[in-house]
């Protein structure tokens, strides 16, 4: 469904020369408005240091500008003297495919709004426009469009870099992981994948296998943390009939089943020291005995292990064998948590929403409101990508195709705890001023969160403790999605 943004507006006028397509990238908004005073107010509302607004008095003028710039948004009047709103929209869709189109009008009606939205506009609102709502609508429209472009690019990247098992990213950290996968996949080296729960360790193991010379042989996965140690030994090596009480017959283990292929040992850090001895022997000799058996069985298996625990610490504490750690640690791959690759969150949301909408029979995935997306981006995501995927499925079901708004988010996202100092994100891809402002915002939010907790949500006491006015506190709480009710004692 097209996202119906509220565009309350503000006009504007002066002209700016268009930005060439190859120049340093700033956001570009093209405005078609034949009323100079209206154009001037809109331009004043939207213009920023990082954004230019190019004003065109007619569609003919816009068509002359289009080849010379790359617009992020086109804002057009549905009341142009030369064309109707629908005709203007149709022309823009043909000449600027993929660019979000927002409309304003001096003559609003339900019929015209419905027609424009159905024809492909992402929003329509009557004049006089509200500058704040106009900025929000414009920024959300551009964010949604960027998300779609990133997802398309990531999917193309996935096709170009075949074998990455549906992992989508624009994050430099994850792209380095892809480079590591390509480097090690062609070898038979043991790999250990390190990362928090839900970061995609099994997907990485599949990607390595799919790009290896063993890709036509089986990839067998076993979660070492899902079995008792006795049952895990049987799961790995198999057993002979009568070797223990429930062993009613001979059974192959996963080492035999993976012969010629790859064995993925997930949560290896959960294994006992006695089992680690047996694993080390198999890795060294590629042979073993079934539980209760006497014959040596030889296999040719490539080992990929994974764990969310710190194995080095486990070695120091005597919980993990040092020799097994060194044997496995031939090629370590560290998967960053989702909070360290936040630039991937919008495209992952778009991907998961599209998949869930298709699975549950919805024509189109829901959009995410600007407020909801802000809360999503600041959340610390302890469950990582797995948690995000599950929530996207929930949002598709709960929203029924409508926009996902802040009230649809679970409580933990709306009242997200502050980041720990080690989790402060410093983006070296932006100018220093922007990077510093972003870090200051993170610290400021964490500081206010703690004061609100300490003062149990009493705004007067919190403002006094912070040395700011209640109005300043209220504005900052609104900006950081902090709700005083979340800090008050239930009664």
Residue-by-residue DSSP string for 230-256: HHHHHHHH-B-TTSSTT--S-B--HHH
Q: Does 13 score more than 50 pLDDT?
A: no
Q: Reply yes or no on whether the pLDDT at 238 is more than 90.
A: no
Going by pLDDT thresholds of 50, 70 and 90, the confidence category of residue 3 is very low
- Residue 305: per-residue pLDDT: 94
- In Å, how far are 26, 139, 447, 470 from 433, measured between CA atoms? 16, 20, 21, 28
Cα separations in angstroms, 275 against 197, 219, 229, 270, 312: 23, 22, 7, 10, 18
User: Over pLDDT 90: what percentage of the chain?
Assistant: 21
Q: What CATH number does domain 27-152 carry, 3.40.50.2300, 1.10.3720.10, 3.40.190.10, 3.40.50.720? A: 3.40.50.2300
Contact (CB, 8 A) for 207 and 200: no
Please state whether beta strands 219-223 and 191-194 pair in parallel, antiparallel, or not at all (unpaired).
Answer: unpaired
What's the average model confidence in pLDDT over 128-135? 82
54: β partners: 30
Say which range, 51-55, 287-291, 440-444, has the weakest mean pLDDT: 440-444
This prediction's pTM:
0.56
What token pair was written down for 266? 């997930």
Res 489: pLDDT: 55
**CA 431 distance to own-chain centroid:** 23
Does the pLDDT value for residue 10 go beyond 60? no
421-487 classified as CATH 3.40.50:
no
Mean pLDDT of the chain: 80
Q: Which fold has domain 339-414?
A: Helicase, Ruva Protein; domain 3 (1.10.8)
Whether the CB-CB separation of 349 and 392 falls below 8 Å is answered with yes
Using DSSP bridges, classify how beta strands 287-288 and 297-298 pair: parallel, antiparallel or unpaired. Answer: antiparallel
User: If residue 358 lies in a helix (H) or strand (E), which one and from where to where?
Assistant: helix 345-359
Most confident of 226-230, 372-376, 442-446: 372-376
Over residues 287-313, mean pLDDT: 88
Distance CA 70, CA 121 (A): 19
pLDDT, position 407: 87
Give the tens place of pLDDT for each residue, 22-31: 334 678 888 8
Residue 185 has pLDDT above 50, yes or no: yes
What average pLDDT does the segment 427-451 reach?
76
* Range with top average pLDDT, 64-68, 249-253, 314-318: 314-318
Per-residue pLDDT tens over the stretch 409-418: 988 887 644 4
Neighbours of 239 (CB within 10 A): 22
User: For residue range 95-129, what is the model confidence (pLDDT) as tens digits?
Assistant: 888 788 888 887 777 777 777 887 888 887 778 88
Are the folds of 27-152 and 421-487 the same?
Answer: no
Architecture in CATH of 172-336: 3-Layer(aba) Sandwich (3.40)
Rg (CA), the chain: 28
128 upstream amide cis, omega within 30 of 0: yes
Distances (CA, A) of 2 to 51, 69, 126: 24, 25, 18
Q: How confident is the model at residue 230 (pLDDT cuts 50, 70, 90)?
A: confident
> Is the model more confident about 328 or about 431?
328
Identify the top-confidence range among 88-92, 281-285, 438-442: 281-285
231 in Cβ contact with 253 (< 8 Å) = no
Give the largest CA-CA distance in the chain: 92
| Region of residue 177 (left: phi > 0; alpha: psi -120 to 50; beta: else) | alpha
Q: What span, in angstroms and rounded, lies between the C-alpha atoms of 328 and 292?
A: 27
Residue with tokens 């509302």: 45
Pairing outcome for strands 297-298 and 123-126: unpaired
Domain ranges of the chain: 27-152, 172-336, 339-414, 421-487
- DSSP bridge pairs for 291: 239
106 and 127 in contact (C-beta within 8 Å)?
yes
pLDDT band at 221 (very low <50, low <70, confident <90, very high): very high
């Amino acid at each position: 469904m097209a996202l119906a943004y509220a565009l309350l507006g503000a006009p504007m006028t002066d002209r700016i020369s268009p930005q060439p397509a190859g120049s340093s990238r700033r956001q570009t908004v093209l405005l078609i408005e034949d009323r100079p005073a209206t154009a001037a107010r809109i331009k004043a509302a939207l213009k920023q240091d990082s954004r230019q607004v190019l004003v065109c008095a007619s569609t003919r003028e816009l068509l002359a500008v289009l080849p010379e710039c790359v617009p992020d948004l086109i804002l057009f009047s549905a009341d142009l003297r030369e064309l109707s709103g629908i005709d203007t929209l149709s022309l823009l869709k043909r000449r600027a495919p993929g660019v979000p189109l927002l409309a304003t009008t001096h003559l609003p009606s339900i019929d015209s709004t419905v027609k424009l939205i159905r024809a492909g506009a992402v929003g329509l609102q009557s004049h006089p426009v509200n500058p704040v709502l106009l900025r929000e609508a414009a920024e959300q429209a551009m964010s949604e469009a960027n998300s779609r472009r990133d997802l398309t690019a990531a999917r193309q990247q996935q096709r170009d870099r075949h074998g990455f098992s549906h992992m989508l990213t624009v994050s430099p950290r994850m792209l380095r992981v892809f480079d590591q996968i390509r480097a090690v996949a062609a070898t038979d080296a043991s790999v250990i994948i390190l990362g928090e729960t839900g970061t995609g360790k099994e997907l990485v193991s599949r990607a390595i296998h799919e790009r290896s010379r063993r890709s036509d042989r089986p990839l067998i996965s076993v979660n070492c943390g899902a079995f008792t140690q006795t049952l895990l030994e049987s799961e790995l090596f198999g057993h002979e009939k009568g070797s223990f009480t429930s062993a009613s017959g001979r059974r192959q283990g996963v080492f035999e089943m993976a012969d010629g292929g790859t064995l993925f040992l997930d949560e290896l850090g959960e294994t006992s020291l006695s089992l680690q001895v047996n694993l080390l022997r198999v890795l060294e000799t590629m042979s073993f005995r079934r539980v209760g058996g006497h014959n040596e069985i030889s296999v040719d298996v490539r080992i990929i292990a994974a764990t969310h625990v710190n194995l080095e610490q486990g070695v120091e504490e005597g919980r993990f064998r040092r020799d097994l750690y060194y044997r496995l640690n031939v090629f370590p791959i560290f998967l960053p948590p989702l909070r360290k690759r936040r630039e991937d969150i919008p495209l992952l949301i778009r991907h998961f929403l599209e998949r869930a909408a298709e699975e549950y029979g919805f024509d189109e995935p829901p959009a995410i409101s600007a407020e909801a997306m802000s809360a999503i981006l600041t959340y610390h995501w302890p469950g990582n990508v797995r948690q995000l995927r599950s929530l996207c499925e929930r949002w598709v079901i709960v929203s029924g195709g409508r926009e996902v708004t802040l009230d649809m988010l679970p409580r933990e996202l709306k009242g997200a705890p502050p980041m720990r100092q080690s989790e402060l994100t410093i983006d070296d891809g932006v100018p220093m001023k922007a990077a510093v402002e972003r870090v200051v915002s993170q610290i400021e939010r964490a500081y206010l969160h703690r004061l609100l907790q300490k003062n149990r949500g009493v705004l007067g006491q919190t403002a006094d403790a912070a040395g700011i006015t209640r109005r300043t506190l209220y504005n900052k709480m609104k900006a950081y999605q902090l709700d005083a009710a979340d800090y008050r004692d239930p009664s």
